[in-house]
A and B are shown apart, each in its own frame.
Chain A
Amino acid sequence: MAAALIELHNLGYAWPGQPELLDLPALELGTGESLFLRGPSGSGKTTLLGLLGGVQLPDRGQVRLLGQDLAQLRQGARDRFRVDHTGYIFQQFNLLPFLSVRDNVRLPCRFSTLRLARAQQRHGSLEKATDTLLERLGLPSSLFDRRADALSIGQQQRVAAARALIGQPELVIADEPTSALDSDAREAFLRLLFEECQAGGAGLLFVSHDQSLAPLFDRAESLMDLNRATRAREA
């Protein structure tokens, strides 16, 4: 069996001088799988994303991405590994406001030669890859050269999705990307995101506090239930 996208084993993390925030016995995400992880604010969600991105290292246990133990990579290598294999979509304000839509989408390819190579391989050129993705995410081509902050929130989130997907990373991590959208836009956005993840063969880790979205995913988990640290605090 191919290595899972994400494997967490016995993960523990505490911010310096604070009680343990995360104590996760196990969490897995398979290739191409979509996982809904419910996590209200304060549940250690942000910290978990930091650990998955290799920005922080766990106090104990392991974080493996594509079979690679992040702790065994040096800081610079972790940064490179992250951008090579992971695309991020955040709640809002995902884009650099002073760059054009196209330039925002291309950003990961400026820092990752692997993703640049993949984008070129699949679409012929970076320009083609950018435009194709933006079109498939339903953004009118008249907006491609606009400044990112000239777009509506919904449009911005689609640009963010395109940026997360360009160069086909194996994993897309989305942190409350729909919280600023109304419910119609939310479903439409999610459908596009699923489609594109499937087309690119990417697994999706979707973190949100909005339980109503859970049925749309292959699998749903609750961070509150998984995290023994929260349970200990509550008890």
Chain B
Amino acid sequence: MPLLRLALASLANRRFTAALTAFAIAVSVCLLLAVERVRTEARASFASTISGTDLVIGARSGPINLLLYSVFRIGNATNNIRWSSFEHYAQDPRVKWAIPISLGDSHRGYRVMGTDHNYFEHYHYGHGQALELAQGRAFANDPFEVVLGAEVADALHYALGDHLVLAHGVAAISLVKHDDKPFTVVGILKRTGTPVDRTLHISLGGMEAIHVDWHNGMPARGAERISADQARAMDLTPKAITAMLIGLKNRVTTFALQREVNDYLDEPLLAILPGVALQELWSLMGTAEQALFVVSLFVVLTGLIGMLTAILTSLNERRREMAILRSVGARPWQIALLLVAEAGALAAAGIVAGVALLYVSIACAQGYVQASYGLYLPLTLPSAYECALLGLVFGAALLIGAIPAWRAYRQSLADGLTVHL
């Protein structure tokens, strides 16, 4: 098509402005796609954090708070639940399995979770995937064994057999360490893309053992201290845990059991359906996520307005070009089409460069984003939705190109074959 060739040649003649314009569009398109991809992945990884669990039970607070600390390891429990309450529900005939969760300690910024063998058998994420060990084994009878999430092992370069010391509390820098009772790495889990990757798992006995000589939140001193070997000989059944996850034999009983838990007389408890709480939580974050999307749409619009400005500015100095084209037989609508083609070419170049920029950015930032935010950004081809977005950007560019096209149409009708400049 000769018109497109002419448009390209004319653009090449103004290659510096054209390249800048296309670059502005590229950056905006890259941002749009990046936001979109982060959004999609965040939602997907969010929804796949936990699956197969019918109820989460914790001390009475709010559903989102309970979900945050029990599943996402964000924030802290307001209160613990008694071990007797755990046993009460774990032994309920309707309950298929129960996972105890005990939180409160950390290791170099990563949360430590006390649990038992049920966790490795029954905890599921994604589409019903079970946890798998990449190396080693689950913790066994010795209380001072730890199983690392994939990211913890990666980031801190731990291997099987390494010893590590847990810190009391969950602050990133903790002054009080359980350095009298080091743990041995016995297993490393495969990557899941969920908060499990950022967790150190120890047995409930281990959790109990490191706190056995503590009083009022402070370690014992001098003769009152209990060594690791002494602790091994003690009864390490915990008195309280933070939360529990429950799987039922029959889902039909979910609501009945939830009501029972919420009305439990011995202790104020709260039972939530993780799916419902996830939805609630996402709808909270959804607003921010949508705001981000809208902002990126406006950035694209800004890029396109930049293009409009560049083309409109060039129109006046190109009146002669238009007149020459008219004199060799171009009709006014062909001149208009030429400008639309120009806008289209700029947008297409911008989109291609933007997608390239996105892939380069993802390739560079993938590791960092996964390590820092636990978000896996895949280097996949654009999805149908992303293609539709890009199509929308291209369509908008053509539409915006119609503005200078209309002006050029009017101009070339008025100027005719000769321009006196």
Contacts and interface: CB of A to CB of B under 8 A. Distances in A.
Contacts of A98: 9-10, 12-13
B321 interface: yes
B418 A111 contact: no
B124 interface: no
B418 A175 contact: yes
Interface stretch (B84-92, B297-305, B328-336, B375-383): B328-336
A76 B331 contact: yes
B417 A83 contact: no
Interface in A25-76: 46, 49-50, 53, 55-56, 75-76
B40 interface: no
A5 B13 CA distance: 38
Nearest to A93: B320
B324 A50 contact: no
B417 A97 contact: no
A50 B416 contact: yes
Contacts of B321: 96
A82 interface: yes
Contact of A83 (B12, B329, B418): B329
Contact of B417 (A49, A93, A96, A107): A49
Contacts of B334: 111
Nearest to A175: B418
A196 interface: no
A55 B333 CA distance: 14
A88 B12 CA distance: 26
Q: Is the interface of B mostly helix, strand, loop or mixed?
A: helix
B410 to A, nearest CB: 13
Nearest to B412: A55
B313 interface: no
A3 B6 CA distance: 36
Contacts of A112: 329
Given A82-B329, A95-B324, A110-B2, A53 B416 contact: yes
A112 B2 CA distance: 12
Interface in B385-421: 413, 416-418, 420
B326 interface: yes
A50 B416 CA distance: 7
B328 A50 contact: no
A90 interface: yes
Nearest to B417: A53
Nearest to B9: A98
A163 B331 contact: no
A76 B333 CA distance: 9
A80 interface: yes
A208 to B, nearest CB: 14
A17 to B, nearest CB: 14
A98 B334 CA distance: 19
Contacts of A108: 328-329
Interface string B150-188: 000000000000000000000000000000000000000
Contact of B328 (A46, A49, A83, A97): A83
A46 B419 CA distance: 9
Contacts of A83: 328-329
B327 interface: yes
Interface string A91-109: 0011111110001000110
Contact of B9 (A53, A55, A79, A99): A99
Contacts of A49: 417-418
Contacts of B420: 46
Interface in B321-364: 321, 324-334
A79 B331 contact: yes
A46 B418 CA distance: 7
A161 to B, nearest CB: 13
B324 A55 contact: no
A163 B325 CA distance: 12
Contacts of B13: 97-98
A175 B417 CA distance: 11
Nearest to B14: A98
Given A82-B329, A83-B328, A90 B9 contact: no
Contacts of A163: 328
A97 B6 CA distance: 12
B327 A111 contact: no
Interface of B: 2, 6, 9-10, 12-13, 320-321, 324-334, 413, 416-418, 420
Given A46-B420, A96-B9, 17 more contacts: A50-B418, A55-B326, A55-B416, A75-B331, A76-B331, A76-B333, A79-B326, A79-B329, A79-B331, A80-B329, A88-B328, A90-B418, A93-B324, A94-B324, A107-B325, A107-B329, A110-B329
13 contacts: A55-B413, A75-B331, A83-B329, A88-B328, A88-B417, A96-B6, A96-B324, A97-B13, A98-B9, A98-B10, A103-B9, A108-B329, A111-B330
10 nearest interchain CB pairs?
A83-B329, A111-B329, A98-B13, A55-B416, A107-B328, A88-B327, A79-B331, A110-B2, A108-B328, A50-B416
